[in-house]
Amino acid sequence: MLTRKQHELLVYIDRHLRQTGVSPSFEEMKDGLGLRSKSGIHRLISALEERGFLRRHHHRARALEVLRLPEDQMPRGAAAYMEQTADRAASGFAPTVIRGDFSPRLSGVRTANDAAAVQIPLYGRIAAGLPIEALRADPAAQFDVPMALLGNGEHYALEVAGDSMIEAGILDGDTVIICKDETAENGQIVVALVDDAEVTLKRLRRRGNSIALEPANQRHETRIFPADRVKVQGRLVALLRRY
């Protein structure tokens, strides 16, 4: 699920790590990709991190770790690939990611000719003032999703409204695939129900007896609540975008 610039940046970072042993600076990445500002690099890195290709170590300077590469950059042969990525797999982080082909029809997802699809419930646009069940205006509404995107558990699709998560690569009008769950790990993007009334898609951070719901847009503020006011209703596992 990579755009062309995300693909270029991931390959650039991996090559720099191999050649120098350290990750490139934001200035080097900006120049390497021919971008005008470092903010563009920040957005690309956030998107790669969300899609499971990259990991940032936030308390260390210039600390980026490539978790996996696009298929066209992998060494030939399964043995070579396993040897290259053994240390990355050891972390236990193995998200489901579908290779993007930069098709104008559906970004980053193989079509029905390439992968079997299943139907999951399609809810409406996520909006304040409604529990997640109320977003499903049409109980018969279904959404076709490649099976490779789904793991264990029950899933549903949800249309995103607003720009609060754009720096995580989640745009207004995107369709997110959510795995129903009442728990989530620190730092995961979740569907959260606040005060049994407001539903929002945000990154969850636990801070003692409080929960912070973090946007991925500098124009939006992080909201902090007592833990008993926030209920997790699902975890983000995939994103689909039509052009």
pLDDT digits (tens, 9 = 90+) for 69-109: 876 554 444 334 344 444 444 444 443 333 333 333 333 33
- Give the Cα separation of 163 and 226 in Å (integer): 25
Output the CA–CA distances (angstroms, integers) from residue 22 to 17, 18, 191, in the order listed: 5, 8, 35
Task: Say whether pLDDT at 55 is over 90.
Answer: no
Lowest mean pLDDT among 121-125, 162-166, 200-204: 121-125
With cut-offs at 50, 70 and 90, classify the pLDDT of residue 112: very low
CB atoms within 10 A of CB 186: 11
Mean pLDDT, residues 158-174 taken together = 87
The per-residue pLDDT for 136 is 61
The per-residue pLDDT for 38 is 82
The per-residue pLDDT for 139 is 64
The per-residue pLDDT for 20 is 76
pTM check: above 0.75: no
- What tens digit of pLDDT does each residue of 188-212 get? 999 999 988 888 899 999 988 999 9
Mean pLDDT, residues 129-135 taken together = 57
Task: Say whether pLDDT at 61 is over 80.
Answer: no
Contacts (Cβ under 8 Å, ≥6 apart) of 63: 23, 56, 57
The per-residue pLDDT for 202 is 93
The 3-state secondary structure of 60-91, one letter per residue: CCCCEEECCCCHHHCCCCHHHHHHHHHHHHCC
The per-residue pLDDT for 235 is 92
With cut-offs at 50, 70 and 90, classify the pLDDT of residue 44: confident
Contacts (Cβ under 8 Å, ≥6 apart) of 218: 167
Find the catalytic residue in 107, 164, 210, 231. 164
Percent of the chain with pLDDT over 90: 17
- Give the Cα separation of 140 and 174 in Å (integer): 20
Find the catalytic residue in 23, 202, 210, 231. 202
Mean pLDDT, residues 28-51 taken together = 85
Please confirm, yes or no, whether 202 is among the known catalytic residues.
Answer: yes
Task: Say whether pLDDT at 146 is over 90.
Answer: no
Which domains occur in the chain, in start order? 4-89 (1.10.10.10), 106-242 (2.10.109.10)
Tokens of 163: 């720009």
Mean pLDDT, residues 46-62 taken together = 75
The per-residue pLDDT for 81 is 38
Angle between helices 4-20 and 26-33 (to 10 degrees): 130
- Give the Cα separation of 109 and 1 in Å (integer): 7
Please confirm, yes or no, whether 107 is among the known catalytic residues.
Answer: no
The per-residue pLDDT for 63 is 75
